[in-house]
């Protein structure tokens, strides 16, 4: 997969992305906005372990690189639903703090959602943003997702209980 956009490219991960991934992922401010399975600190072995999984095309999880100027600076991915949820998917994303506030994620999320509807048998795609991350909520809104609700006290992150905001788009 490769989507060449105005501000970035969304493409498959490559094993040679390890150095750039380690540089951009090892950031507490990025980690605070992600699930705990995204490690912090992001050590030397973390990119290699992730890239081994990411370059395998099997499974319900599809993960892609966000590239700017030839460097891997973020990621976007999809987890396909199962059983009665087989026509739905959850997605998430992250971007190096060096590139925040430039409209990159809005462009990437919009294109990614369109790509997912066109290439997977989906009727619905959803994402959650922590309530203390209004920038991510705004990205989802600008990308055409609708706020479906606030999940009160649903997240435990960095020693705090947080609400999350559920956004979705349907075909």
Res 57: pLDDT: 72
Res 44: pLDDT: 81
Res 56: pLDDT: 82
Given a contact cutoff of 8 angstroms between Cβ atoms, the answer to whether 43 and 35 are in contact is no
CA–CA gap between residue 148 and residue 126 (Å, rounded): 10
Mind listing the pLDDT tens digit for each residue in 62-115? 999 999 999 999 999 999 999 999 999 999 999 999 999 999 999 999 999 999
Given a contact cutoff of 8 angstroms between Cβ atoms, the answer to whether 74 and 13 are in contact is no
Which of the two residues, 55 and 145, has the higher pLDDT score?
A: 145
Q: Can you give the pTM of this predicted structure?
A: 0.95
């Amino acid at each position: 997969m490769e989507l060449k956009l105005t501000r970035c490219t969304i493409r498959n991960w490559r094993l040679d992305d390890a150095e750039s991934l380690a540089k951009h992922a090892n950031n507490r401010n990025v980690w605070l906005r992600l699930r705990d399975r995204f490690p912090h600190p992001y050590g030397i072995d973390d990119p290699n372990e992730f890239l081994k999984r990411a370059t395998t095309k099997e499974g319900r999880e599809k993960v892609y690189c966000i590239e700017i100027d030839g460097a891997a600076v973020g990621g976007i991915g999809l987890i396909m639903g199962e059983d009665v949820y087989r026509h739905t998917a959850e997605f998430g994303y992250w971007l190096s703090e060096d590139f925040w506030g430039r409209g990159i994620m809005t462009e990437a999320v919009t294109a990614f959602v369109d790509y997912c509807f066109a290439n997977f048998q989906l009727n619905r795609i959803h994402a959650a943003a922590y309530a203390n991350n209004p920038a991510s909520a705004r990205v989802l809104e600008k990308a055409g997702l609708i706020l479906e609700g606030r999940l009160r006290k649903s997240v435990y992150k960095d020693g705090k209980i947080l609400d999350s905001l559920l956004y979705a788009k349907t075909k």
